[in-house]
Amino acid sequence: MSDKVTVIVDGKTIKDGKLEGGTVYVPLRAVGEAIGAKIGWDNQTKTAKLDT
- Give the separation between CA 32 and CA 29, rounded to whole angstroms: 5
Please tell me the distance from the alpha carbon of residue 25 to that of residue 4, in angstroms, as a whole number. 10
- Predicted confidence (pLDDT) per residue in 7-38, tens digit: 999 999 999 999 999 999 999 999 999 999 99
**Is residue 1 pLDDT above 80, yes or no?**
no
Return the pLDDT at 51.
96
Query: Residue 29: its pLDDT value, please?
Result: 95
Tell me which DSSP letter residue 52 carries. Answer: -
Predicted TM-score (pTM) of the model is 0.79
CA 45 to chain centre: 19
Q: How confident is the model at residue 2 (pLDDT cuts 50, 70, 90)?
A: confident
